[in-house]
Structure 1
């Protein structure tokens, strides 16, 4: 089972995404274990540097580098705060762009719960009002769940690849 390629994409030997792959670009920003765990913590409401370090179990240097990368990418906002009698520090809060990563974080959790954890893992994500389980699934416009073989890849007619410049 696999996705179907439509139109000019059907002959996969005649096209290549190369450096323009959206998944590759996303992995350049979020492609490490520490990065996804920092995102998990941000989704859980963690905002302070020391709490990220402790909860994820990483060094200050790794946390600082990843958080700086997330701020530069627009995933987190860095906001100053000051406790009475202490110096100004910064907290990290998810931006809209960061919040839009929630389905990816939940999909990884759901997959790990299903395939890697006995009894479904230590935590469950539930609807706050009903208490019912939350799942991440591909869905069509009508709201129906779709499987891998129900999906197709089509060219985006609005997208134009960046032009390559030559010097000389």
Structure 2
């Protein structure tokens, strides 16, 4: 069995997620969509990705259910790529990656963007993994168990 097929059928949610959206271009496309980019040409301009690569990535994300294609909101003949519930649910993933990068990949004095709350114009809170009771958790505080998904 090919490695990609193994990942796509793995019991590990991390492996399946990486197979589905772990590609750098996919995550950058999703990031741009959170900034309300919807048109192919706008994705291409903002990311500088080759058109053939963008075509393949967008097609795969539509097939997966991350995006849906809709008529342009301005009534033009263009089509728009709109995040679905599945796509919007990737927001904490992108924010976690952003916050990890902010913390570990920039040196003193280096410029980078930050995420601000639209209401308060203040930086957003760092994402923390918590128990259902609200306790902050670290890797040592958790374990895995296989389950079967219902419904």
- TM value normalised by structure 2: 0.81
Which residue does the alignment assign to 2:131? 140
TM-superposed CA distance for 1:136, in Å, is 1.6
Which residue does the alignment assign to 1:90? 79
Q: 2:117 touches 2:123 (CA, 8 Å); kept in 1?
A: yes
Gap change, CA 1:129 and 1:145, over 3 Å in 2: farther
SS in 2 for 1:78: strand
Show structure 1 runs of 5+ residues with no match. Answer: 1-17, 161-168
Deviates more, 1:127-136 or 1:64-73: 127-136
Q: 1:125 touches 1:133 (CA, 8 Å); kept in 2?
A: yes
Which residue does the alignment assign to 2:92? 103
Superposition RMSD in Å: 2.2
Aligned residues: 140
Task: Look at both structures and tell me which one has the larger radius of gyration over its CA atoms.
Answer: 1
Which residue does the alignment assign to 1:117? 106
Q: Separation in 2 of the partners of 1:73 and 1:121?
A: 35
Q: 1:139 touches 1:146 (CA, 8 Å); kept in 2?
A: yes
TM-superposed CA distance for 1:132, in Å, is 4.1
Gap change, CA 1:83 and 1:159, over 3 Å in 2: closer
Q: 1:77 touches 1:93 (CA, 8 Å); kept in 2?
A: yes
Q: 1:30 touches 1:36 (CA, 8 Å); kept in 2?
A: yes
TM-superposed CA distance for 1:147, in Å, is 1.3
TM-superposed CA distance for 1:90, in Å, is 0.9
Matched, 1:128 2:118: yes
Show structure 2 runs of 5+ residues with no match. Answer: 1-8
Q: 1:113 touches 1:121 (CA, 8 Å); kept in 2?
A: no
TM-superposed CA distance for 1:65, in Å, is 0.7
Deviates more, 1:50-59 or 1:132-141: 132-141
